[in-house]
Structure formats: structure tokens, C-alpha cells
Amino acid sequence: MRIVIAEDAAVLRHGMVQLLTERGLEVAAAVADADGLYAAVAEHTPDAIVADIRMPPDHTDEGLRAAVALRLEHPGLGVLLFSQYVETRYTARLLAGGTSGVGYLLKERVSDVDEFVDAVHRVGTGGTALDPEVVSQLLSAGRDSGGLGSLSPREDEVLALMAQGLTNAAVARSLGITQRSVEKHVAGIFAKLGLPRTDSEHRRVLAVLRYLGASPARP
């Protein structure tokens, strides 16, 4: 798996290069700003990028905006945001195309090296790696729209775990309830969000996108 890293902190950038290389991943480039990220992706066509959100020159949201643009230009590109901050507006745009191949981890909450490496693997192979704190803040940002206010507290918990990429069986284990109970809660979520069964849409994905504030409510 080929990776491009975008991180302006030199020590952290070199540390990630060493860590991922030792774990058998190919780090094709490690850059310090968004311009370097664009150039590296164009040159190396990586499977995934690991990018900080705030990078030079303004240290606002350059990395996140670059990730959004790169996903549009390269739809199969995995994106793992690795930052100290949660930025909701552009993250919703990043997730608007689906959660496949997208991750967002907070630096101070990653306490295990294997957790980080596993997240890189997951987004590079089309999986999802979302920190629960990121999911919570995205929910708070878009809570009043899309029918989410009608969900029960348990349905909120189930949908939050769905947004982290968990299957019904994994949700059941996490909450200490039966899989049948999870299935009933999922059905309730679909009903309250106005997501009928169709042959052309994946209701689970639509529910997660609604939860993350990345999909407008249906009429």
C-alpha cells in the first residue's frame, strides 16, 4: 500500500514515515503543506493520504480543503485526517461522497500505534475510521435537521456506532444487547429518518450521512 503524508510538524512527519515504513507500508512522499500534497498525489498516485487539517501558509483548514478536492479528483483515494482539531463544515463535504475510504482521528486520542496503523490500512482499502469525538461534534453541528431529533437515546447510540463503521453484530457487542434488538433499532432509525427500502440506495449509508450532517433531509 502506497501512502502520502502531509504534516507540517517535522518531528511528527518523520516519525509517521518511520512508523509506517516499519509496518510494511510504502511512504511515497512526506510533505509539509497543501501544495506539496497536491503535487505528491499527482506524482505518486497513492492508495491513501494521511493529512493534518491545519497547514501552511495560514494554518486554518488547508489540509482538509485539499483532502476534499483530492477526493473529487481521485474518487478511490483513501483519506485519513490526523489532527488536533475537529472541523465540521468541510468534513461534511468530505463525507458527502460516502464514508468509504475516509478516516478522521484526533492526535491526542490515539494512544496505541497499532490503532493508527490499522486506521491507515482501513482507509486505504475502502474502510472507515472515525473517532467517536469527531462523530459527536459532527452530530452536534447538524443535530436539528434531517429528522435526527426524533431518535431515541438508544437509537442515537446505535447510529453513532454505525457511523464508526460497525456491523449490527459489533454494535450489539458494544452496547451489550442482542443483535435482534440492534436490528429493531436500525429499522426504527430508517423509519424516523424517512428512508424506505429501495433497489437503488443503501439505507445504512444514507442514515450515516444524515447523522454526520453530510446529506440533506428528504422532502
Per-residue pLDDT of the chain (219 residues), as tens digits, is 999 999 999 999 999 999 999 999 999 999 999 999 999 999 999 999 999 999 888 888 899 999 999 998 998 999 999 999 888 767 877 877 677 899 999 998 888 899 899 999 999 999 988 888 887 777 666 554 556 777 888 998 899 899 888 899 999 999 999 999 999 999 999 988 888 887 766 888 888 887 776 444 433
Domain 142-211 coded CATH 1.10.10.10: yes
Phi and psi, residue 29, nearest 5°: -160, 150
Which CATH code fits 2-130? 3.40.50.2300
> Are 194 and 130 contacting, i.e. CB atoms less than 8 angstroms apart?
no
Phi and psi, residue 115, nearest 5°: -60, -45
Residue extent(s) of CATH 1.10.10.10 domains in the chain: 142-211
pTM: 0.67
Residue extent(s) of CATH 3.40.50.2300 domains in the chain: 2-130
**Residue 58, number of CB atoms within 10 A of its CB:** 9
- Residues with Cβ < 8 Å from 101, sequence gap 6 or more? 48, 76, 77, 78, 79, 123, 124, 126, 127, 128
